Amino acid sequence: MKVIAYLLAAMFVLFVFAGLTPDAIAQSKPVMNWAGDAEGGAPYQFPDPRDPSKIIGFEVDIAKALADRIGKTPHFIQNQWDGLVPGLERGEYEMVIAGLEITPERLEKINFSTPYYYSTLSLTVRLDETRIRKPEDLSGHRAGTLKATFAERYLSEIPSVDIPTYDNQLHPYLDLMLGRLDAVVLDTPIALYYAYSPQMRNVELSAVKFPIAIGIRKSDTALLVQVNQALEAMKRDGTLKAIYQNWGMYNLPTAEYFGDKEAASNPNPVQLQEYLKAVQTQHTFFERIVQYWSFLPLLLRGALMTVALSCVSMALAVSLGLLLAVARSFGSRLVAWPAIAFIEIIL
C-alpha cells in the first residue's frame, strides 16, 4: 500500500509541475498542439532573455493568434529541428510552426498551409572583409549555415564553397567573428537578430526569396482547411503584418504577397529593440546576480521534476522487483523460469 501511495503522490507532483493542473485539464477550449525548436533561436521561437522560463518569438505570436481563430488553446511542444517532421508524421502534435520551408522532399511526407511569411537570405561578413561582396565571391571560401535549410541548398549551388553546417543560429556567427568562417548565409530575420555587432556587415540577397508555411499531416485535411482560412483572415485584417512589424521583419516579399500597396516598413519594432537591449546590455556585478537569480524558479522546477521522476522510477522498480522476487521464489516452474531469465538477462 505504501508503494501505491508513493506512486500516486509522485504522479500528482508530475502533473502539477508539468503544468497539468485541474484547471488546465478542465479548460473549455480544446488544445492546439504545435511543435517547434526553441533552441533554434530568435526571432522564430526562443527563451525570453529577460525570463528564460518563457518562450517568445514571432511564430509564438502567430500560433496564439491562429489558435484563437480556430477556437483552441495553443500548447507548445519542443522538438529538435531535424525531428519536427518525423514527430508530426507519428502524430505527436497537430502542426509544425518553425520556419519550415516548403520543399519537394517535405511535400512527399506532409501537407503545407498557405505561406504566412516570405523570407530572403542575407550574406554576413566581418566588417574588415574586402574579398566577399556578393554570393559569387564565396567560391574558394568557407561559408557557414544551418543544416537542412534553404540557405544550405543555395550555397551548395555555388561552385567551390566549403559549407560547414550548424545545429543552431548563434554558433556560425561566433565562428565568423573568431575567423573560423569567411561568411555566413542565413535567413534575413536570423541575421537581423544575431549579426547585430558593429563588426559585422549584412548584405540582403533580395532576389532570393522563399515561402515559410505550417506543416500538417496528410490525413488532417479538415485542419488544413481551418488553418488556411484563419491565415487568410489574419492576412486580410492586418494581424500578421502587425506581428511582423512588431518584430522588425516586415519585408518587401511579404508585403507583395499580402498585396500591400504601401512600402514594407517596421515603424516601431518593439520586440527587436527589447531583444537587442537584453542581449547587448553590459551588466554590473549586482545586475548579473539579479539576472542569475531569475533562473532560480526554472532550476527549482527542473529539480522538482527530477525528484518526481525519481520517485516514480523507484516505485515502479520496487514493485517490479517485488513481483519478480515472489515469482522466482514461490512460483511454479512455468512462472519462475521466465522470471529468472528476465533477472539474469535484463537486470
**How confident is the model over 199-215, as pLDDT tens digits?**
999 999 999 999 999 99
Per CATH, the homologous superfamily of domain 2-114+214-279 is Periplasmic binding protein-like II (3.40.190.10)
Tell me the pTM: 0.75
What grid cell was written down for 59?
A: 511564430
How far is residue 69's CA from residue 212's CA, in Å, rounded to a whole number? 20
149 or 20: whose pLDDT is higher? 149
User: What single-letter DSSP state applies at residue 233?
Assistant: H
Fold of 118-209: D-Maltodextrin-Binding Protein; domain 2 (3.40.190)
Give mean pLDDT, residues 128-132.
Answer: 95
2-114+214-279 shares its CATH topology with 118-209: yes
Name the CA radius of gyration of the chain, rounded: 25
pLDDT at 158: 97
Alpha helices for the chain (secondary structure H) = 2-17, 22-25, 58-69, 84-89, 104-107, 150-156, 170-177, 188-194, 221-236, 239-246, 252-258, 270-280, 285-293, 296-330, 333-345
pLDDT tens-place string over residues 229-247? 999 999 999 999 999 999 9
Return d(Cα 76, Cα 170) in angstroms, integer: 22
Give the residue extent of every domain in the chain: 2-114+214-279, 118-209, 298-345
Q: What is the mean pLDDT of residues 303-329?
A: 86
- Measured between alpha carbons, how far is residue 41 from residues 93, 193, 198 in Å? 21, 9, 20
pLDDT band at 2 (very low <50, low <70, confident <90, very high): very low
